[in-house]
Amino acid sequence: MIDQDHSREDQVSPTVELPLKYKDLISQSEGENQQEELELNVQISKSKLEVDISQTNLDLANAKQALAKTKRAIPYDVSKEIKAYEKVKSLEGGLEYAKKVLEERF
């Protein structure tokens, strides 16, 4: 339930940056523009890496499921199990590396 007895000063409101006027935007120095562009590129790269990690988690789950099915397959084929096993190990290694990159660089 929302307590309506508090004044507006007691309420927490998010900080909203007001957009710059066009004159202010075109007056920014090249360094300011480059810094803003750099920060946006870092944010985009981090987001893409997080998406890649999520996709790799999904791929890994599917690969583990495929490996389990291969182990129970009739007729049994060891070469298919080896391929499925190698795919799981490859995805696990890639996932571990991607998480390390996210932790160390971002």
Given this model, what pLDDT does residue 5 score? 45
Q: What is the per-residue pLDDT across 63-102, written as a single tens digit (0 to 9) for each? A: 999 999 999 999 999 999 999 999 999 999 999 999 999 9
From residue 68, alpha-carbon distances to 51, 65, 88 in Å are: 26, 5, 11
Which amino acid is residue 31, in one-letter code?
Answer: G
pLDDT level of residue 13 (50, 70, 90 thresholds): low
Q: Are 67 and 84 in contact (CB under 8 A)?
A: yes
The dihedrals phi and psi of 5, each to the nearest 5 degrees, come to -80, -10
From residue 95, alpha-carbon distances to 22, 54, 83, 92 in Å are: 44, 9, 18, 5
Q: How far apart are CA 62 and CA 90, in angstroms?
A: 13
Q: What is the per-residue pLDDT across 27-59, written as a single tens digit (0 to 9) for each? A: 888 888 899 999 999 999 999 999 999 999 999
For the CA atoms of 99, 45, 47, 59, the dihedral, rounded to the nearest 10 degrees, stands at -50
- pTM over 0.75, yes/no: no
